[in-house]
Structure 1
Amino acid sequence: MKTLSYGGHQFYRHNEYSYFIKFPTLFKKNAATRFLYPLLVLPFYLPLIFKFDTFIFVWSITFLPLNLDLFLLRWLGKRVIIFNCGSEVRYRPIHYRIDTEVLSLPRFKDKAFEATFIKSSLSFLRTFYTQKVQEWSGCQIVSLRDQATFQKKDYFIFQLATQKVVDGPKKTNAVPLIIHAPSNRAIKGTEYVLAAIDMLKQEGLEFDFELIEGQDNAYVLSRLAAADIAVDEPGVWIAKFSSEALAASCVVIGGNNPRYMGFARTDSPVIQFRPDTEYLARTLRRLILDQPERQAVMQASYAYWQNNYSPEAFVSYFEKLLIGQGETFAALPSHKKMLLKFAPKEYQKRLIWLFY
């Protein structure tokens, strides 16, 4: 299998690519010359189109303008798999209202942050076009409901691959260590975590707590390896930090809402993080005081990582994707009506009515 990479983000520096195309700074910054980039790529890209049978794209960027190569590849009978990562297909002004007003997810308490959060979205035209072109061209889409604003077809479930952090299930510490590592305090629910921790300290419970900010991933992993409990965020499912905590055999307090996600699976040991200080304090109190329960959940966490997020599990998952098999989730019932109801502008409603 060969890999053709578009871009030069530092996240991918440690991956080995058979082919690597870097997006030149000139074309990134100069919109007037950006159209030249596909012309430079074509002599290299076209031979590969006829050489390989399966093409995998991560995020929304492909090699031809307007993602037209998706139609070309499908017309040539190629299998095209696209991993949606979030912002490229999520339109927050609509998605946030569906989540909070229809699906009853909690709103942010800070109204100023809520407004900023909603605005921090790619444009309607870009996200709508990206998702619809992927569907219209017949690509195999891998995504999650909390990002698939304009979903119509069934999508395969996006799954992470996470390297092991410890060699096996850990034993609990006599004095449990709790860690919380927010990248954004408002999104990660840090106010609830700190308030709950303060409440438990005032009760005189014996535990250690570390708030990790401004540290690299290596440090976070080292602390996860030592921790009993990792508190992530009040989301609907796990992301990278939670998967690393599972791989470190920690009790994880984070996202576990399979009903929202449209998943059939109900075996996740992750304890749902609710944006409620007293509820979080009760959960942590029980885990601190009940060492056998803490040990049992830590063991279940490691087993869940092995079965779902380990490299070996990812290989099995990916092999199924390559033949068009695997767990899928459907669009919400009456999803088009929701989009039309919550689209903030009239032209958006018209485009949804015509092209959804």
Structure 2
Amino acid sequence: MPTVLHAPIEIAGQMGTLCQGLRNFGWTANGYNWFHTYLQYDSPIVQTDAYELMHVFEPLVRAADIIHFHNGDTMLTDYRDLPMLKALGKPMVMHHWGNDVRDVETLNRRLKYPLPPSYHTPDEIRAKLATLSQYIDHAIIQDHELYEFIAPYYKRVYELPLVVDTKALQPVYPNVSNPCPLIVHAPTSDEFKGTRYVERAIDNLRSRYRFEYKRIEKMNHKAAMSWYERADIVIDQVMCGTYGLLSVEAMAMGKPVIAYIRDDLRPTYPGPLPIVSADPDTLEVNVAALISDPGRRRALGMQGRRYAEQYHDTGVVVQRLIRIYEEILQEKQ
């Protein structure tokens, strides 16, 4: 079986989950991460830094049959590795995750509620993509939301859904007899997730409905998951127009999810997406509807679990990833 090298940034535990999934299918998959956060995902990859990675660069790349980069970065600063890897004939793919390529200025012309500035300006994003695509022909994104920003650069763009190990998560469906549902919101970025709109809706509902609300932040992943398990309603991001890993984990745990899904993106998802779409204008009424209807909360939780198993489970996603790798490797033969 081939050997794949993942580097250099772990986003939301995805690199580790993909590596473990590839190993389950007999591939040799090694991951190296230099981006460390308070989330502390339990991940089967090597935690390192840019200096250490530079010193093991040569043996790692020579042993790899394909190199899978993440988040618009490569193993050496200023993309110094790309000419060397191209000269070696190493097949490569870049996995873009969101704000590394999302042109917020362009997107905000179409959004009623603008997203905050990214950590890269649009000019910086375009310059990075121009450089990357000189050496890398293939890119991966989690869904169609990012397609418009990278399609002009790469020869082929693949969509690979976010991945979760559903077998490791037992569903805990909302109790229809619970008179005081727990609503959970977990912003890693308040501005991007729309937290002020979420909490405005929550404050407006307190005088009319009985419920609990928990905001999850600055908490490691294991502790956060214990709160998701107890939740009756999970609110993800309400401005971007697509859903994130919180939605996927919550669906896998059997929870009804609220997130803003852009009308133009909904047809691009596989199957009927069981996420309640709500933007800042409609959030309050949609949260109220779920508070008032425990039967619907449970039904959506069950639909979400099935959706996660069918489209986001490790086995399903990794098989798609292997097909992507096989296409890329075949091109190099």
Q: Shared fold (TM-score greater than 0.5)?
A: yes
Question: Within 5 A, what are the aligned runs for 1:64-79?
Answer: 64=76, 66-67=78-79, 69-74=81-86, 76-79=88-91
2: CA distance, partners of 1:22 / 1:69 = 16
- Gaps in structure 2 of 5+ consecutive residues: 1-27, 329-333
User: Which residue of the partner structure matches residue 113 of structure 2?
Assistant: 107
Residue 72 (structure 2) aligned to one of 51, 60, 67: 60
Moved more, 239-248 or 256-265: 256-265
User: Which residue of the partner structure matches residue 237 of structure 2?
Assistant: 233
Q: Deviations over 1:187-221 (max 9, x none)?
A: 32223222322333322x33332233343322221
Q: 1:219 to 1:14 in 2, by over 3 A?
A: closer
Please state whether the residue corresponding to 1:301 is helix, strand or coil: helix
RMSD across aligned C-alpha pairs, in angstroms? 3.2
Is residue 82 from structure 1 mapped to residue 86 from structure 2 by the alignment? Answer: no
Is residue 130 from structure 1 mapped to residue 133 from structure 2 by the alignment? Answer: no
Determine if contact 2:144/2:268 at 8 Å carries over to the other structure.
Answer: no
Cα deviation for residue 126 of structure 1 reads: 4.3
1: CA distance, partners of 2:41 / 2:279 = 36
Q: 1:223 to 1:12 in 2, by over 3 A?
A: closer
Q: Which letter does structure 1 place at the counterpart of 2:34?
A: G
Determine if contact 2:163/2:317 at 8 Å carries over to the other structure.
Answer: yes
Determine if contact 2:236/2:259 at 8 Å carries over to the other structure.
Answer: yes
Is residue 23 from structure 1 mapped to residue 29 from structure 2 by the alignment? Answer: no
Q: Could you say which structure has the larger radius of gyration?
A: 1
Please state whether the residue corresponding to 1:161 is helix, strand or coil: coil
1: CA distance, partners of 2:267 / 2:292 = 34
User: Which residue of the partner structure matches residue 247 of structure 2?
Assistant: 242
2: CA distance, partners of 1:183 / 1:20 = 21
2: CA distance, partners of 1:134 / 1:202 = 53
Is residue 265 from structure 1 mapped to residue 234 from structure 2 by the alignment? Answer: no
Determine if contact 1:180/1:210 at 8 Å carries over to the other structure.
Answer: yes
Q: Give aligned-pair identity as a percent.
A: 20
Cα deviation for residue 163 of structure 1 reads: 3.5
Q: Deviations over 1:157-178 (max 9, x none)?
A: 2432224474136243422221
Q: Which letter does structure 2 place at the counterpart of 1:210?
A: K
Determine if contact 1:258/1:264 at 8 Å carries over to the other structure.
Answer: no
Q: Which letter does structure 2 place at the counterpart of 1:224?
A: Y
Residue 288 (structure 1) aligned to one of 250, 272, 291: 291
2: CA distance, partners of 1:307 / 1:315 = 13
Cα deviation for residue 225 of structure 1 reads: 0.6
Question: Within 5 A, what are the aligned runs for 1:161-180?
Answer: 161-164=163-166, 166-168=169-171, 170-173=173-176, 174-175=178-179, 176-180=181-185
Residue 3 (structure 1) aligned to one of 14, 18, 30: 30
Cα deviation for residue 240 of structure 1 reads: 2.2
User: Which residue of the partner structure matches residue 139 of structure 2?
Assistant: 141
Is residue 308 from structure 1 mapped to residue 311 from structure 2 by the alignment? Answer: yes
Q: Deviations over 1:20-70 (max 9, x none)?
A: 764239xxxxxxxxxxx96xx4xx544554543211112333345643543
- Gaps in structure 1 of 5+ consecutive residues: 26-36, 109-113, 326-356
Moved more, 68-77 or 225-234: 68-77
Q: 1:190 to 1:62 in 2, by over 3 A?
A: closer
Q: Deviations over 1:288-338 (max 9, x none)?
A: 22222222111011111111222222222322221239xxxxxxxxxxxxx
User: Which residue of the partner structure matches residue 323 of structure 1?
Assistant: 326
Q: Deviations over 1:119-156 (max 9, x none)?
A: x5325564323212332324320125555635414421
Determine if contact 2:174/2:231 at 8 Å carries over to the other structure.
Answer: no
Moved more, 182-191 or 225-234: 182-191
1: CA distance, partners of 2:199 / 2:231 = 17
Q: Which letter does structure 1 place at the counterpart of 2:112?
A: P
Is residue 156 from structure 1 mapped to residue 158 from structure 2 by the alignment? Answer: yes
2: CA distance, partners of 1:185 / 1:65 = 30
Give the paired residue count: 292
User: Which residue of the partner structure matches residue 25 of structure 2?
Assistant: none
